[in-house]
Amino acid sequence: MVSGDPRPQPVGAINKLDVVTRPQAVGASDGEDPYLDKGLLDRFVDEVERLEKYVEGLNRQMLSGPTVLDGVWKDVNDDQDRETRQFSISVARCYPTKNRYPDVMPYDHNRVMLKTSKDDFINSSYIRDLSPSTPTFIATQAPIPTTMETFWQMIYEQQVFLLVMLVSSKSKGTSEFHQYWPSERGQSQRHGAFSVTLRSSKNTEFHIERFLQLRHVPTKQVRTVLHMQFTAWPEFGIPEKASDLLQFVSQVQNYHLQQKQLTLPIVVHCSGGIGRTGTFCTVYSAVQDINSGRGITDIPKVVKNLRTQRKWMVSEKEQLKFCYEAVLCYAHQVLAKRK
């Protein structure tokens, strides 16, 4: 940071240096509570206090006029322009009818490629290396009529068990989606070579869990897919309560840990697969870092990383602020359990 810059240093810019020198977190790999280690707990408490002060000051104006949040947002956008200008999206441009939005397309270098189609394109991106404890994601757009079959083909080929949806079924307008699963238990939908059957459904206050059976008709091979739909995100803006999203993230994490192969990707989509999807991935990664004893995540750094893998992940300034608030909320929850 330039000397004399009136902005407070973002929480995490120092913390990541701390992480490098930290001892191996107790329980980070064996399921135990890493904060049983007093040194890690004391350091975490200090990080949470710093984050709390930083979040309180996000809307404070700097000397030049904009707020602290404005400065962080500009830095994230400038970094995207600088780091991704050389990235190509040439393949996606060849398939305009398969892109929900003309300005939301995957980079060539990390796009998901279909294996058994006449062409290999789908508007989906691998999201890797957000942190050592975060699984691989596939960020994708909500299916449209021309991509229903290829969507399920991707789920099948990638052996996906967890499918996360961040759009409410009641959303209209810009968040409109086409339902790609059957509504009634026992009912099936056919999408080309794939048949999707709803086996069970459970509703909570903020999400719906559906167990789907995905069948590749030509080979009769069957896979189970858990469809996790978060319903507490309004059509516009951010969730009313960060705690709702945190509970949802926790549910997804618990199911992920039950998988036989933890290396399999989690598919995440909203409408275009960037705004809500990027927010979810950021919060998920931050929660994983806290749970593994790595402390508070450098949130702008995570968002910058995301945007080198799919453009405009965390696409609104308020979503970035929400990431800070959600991480702080979770940190408080973790400390409250130790009182």
Which residues are designated catalytic?
270
> 82-100 as b/e, with b when 16 or more CB fall inside 10 Å?
eebeeeebebbeeeeebbb
Where on the phi/psi map is residue 189: left (φ > 0), alpha (ψ -120 to 50), or beta? Answer: beta
Other beta carbons within 10 angstroms of residue 245's beta carbon come to 28
Give the integer Cα–Cα distance in Å for 266 and 324: 23
Give the integer Cα–Cα distance in Å for 76 and 233: 24
Helix residue spans in the chain (DSSP H):
15-21, 38-56, 68-84, 90-93, 148-157, 242-257, 275-291, 299-307, 317-336
Give the integer Cα–Cα distance in Å for 12 and 19: 10
